[in-house]
Chains A and B, each alone.
Chain A
């Protein structure tokens, strides 16, 4: 029995792919068997892992192809972590699926009984068909958000989509992940308070703004491999402990599995 988690925000550039890749590789390093599925036409999951783009997703979901799962899965090069990549062909896939009945279930059906502990869905920053399919297939929703007004509005939009799909989706909001957090700017501080006031315990430890994330992506490596001491992983130093960062978020995610 696997747990499926959608990583989604309708606003772009909030750190969805970095979050998906970092959490997927982090869970894999902790011994979980993880499948990471890229639902974005930009195919950035492959870039982040140093893999070539491929139409894996189209071959899995397109009604006229429907390849078996084991034929579209690619090893990421990291133990216990497999990926289903995406590329521009995903645009054609969405057009094809538009004429299919029960299209919202296409991903949930394809993932039925797959032999993984965790499936992470990296969604595109748009409210499209695959976005809805992800919410139907997922058990949990994780919403990364930058700490600015527009991205925080994206959280509201994602929650409205989730509410709209309530009748066909069992997906629950697991957490809101503040990304690009700058503890020295008042705007970050105020937006974090705003989130915490609205969502309470659902707000996860923030991920500090860290250039190492972008550099790691450039080299096609995960943060765990490229910069294990990065602030985005380990959080801020506060006295004798560390606060925030993907390491702390990973511990929260493990509690949901």
Chain B
């Protein structure tokens, strides 16, 4: 097989394929591309990939307001617990309340410009309301 022939070794122009085949080929192609990189770059890519693969299915990224993050960090330090566990602990109560409709997001929703979501939540207003209650 002529390895320089684009088409036989390129993954880009494939017709519709089974997702499992696509996934394996994508990985193989990535490995081949990485093999051509300088050593330091290759090692960085490998680490990045390993980090991504280690990500657990129960993990999410949270974008927190800076002040809230600081308060959570302070609380976690004070209680001597990991911040992720503290956040999970604090979330149980409002999640129960939201599910049982004891609270609602009504009044905090604003229109979103992003095509992926219908609304955004007004976190500043939520913060203001919590501060007023306390």
Q: How far is the CA of A235 from the CA of B21 in the complex (A)?
A: 11
Closest CB of chain B to A210's CB: distance in Å? 15
Please classify how large the interface on chain B is, using the bins under 10, 10 to 19, 20 to 34, 35 or more: 20 to 34
Q: Is B37 an interface residue (CB 8 A)?
A: no
Q: Is B14 an interface residue (CB 8 A)?
A: yes
Q: How far is the CA of A238 from the CA of B14 in the complex (A)?
A: 21
Q: Is the CB of A206 within 8 A of B57?
A: no
Which of B25, B32, B55 is close to A196, meaning CB atoms less than 8 Å apart?
B25
Q: Is the CB of A243 within 8 A of B23?
A: yes
Given contacts A189-B28, A240-B55, contact A200 B8 (CB under 8 A): no
| CB under 8 Å from chain A, chain B span 75-133 | none
Given contacts A186-B32, A200-B15, A240-B56, contact A193 B9 (CB under 8 A): yes
Nearest chain B residue, comparing its CB with the CB of A187: B1
Q: Is B67 an interface residue (CB 8 A)?
A: no
Residues 1-28 of chain B, each 1 if its beta carbon lies under 8 Å from chain A, else 0: 1010001111101111110110111011
Q: How many residues of A contact B (CB 8 A)?
A: 26
Residues 221-255 of chain A, each 1 if its beta carbon lies under 8 Å from chain B, else 0: 00000000000000110111001100010001000
Shortest 7 CB-CB contacts between residues of A and residues of B: A205-B20, A189-B28, A200-B15, A239-B53, A196-B17, A243-B23, A243-B20
User: 22 A-B pairs, CB-CB below 8 angstroms?
Assistant: A149-B1, A181-B24, A183-B24, A189-B25, A189-B28, A190-B8, A192-B24, A194-B8, A196-B21, A197-B7, A197-B8, A197-B13, A200-B14, A200-B17, A205-B24, A206-B20, A206-B24, A238-B27, A239-B52, A240-B56, A243-B20, A248-B20
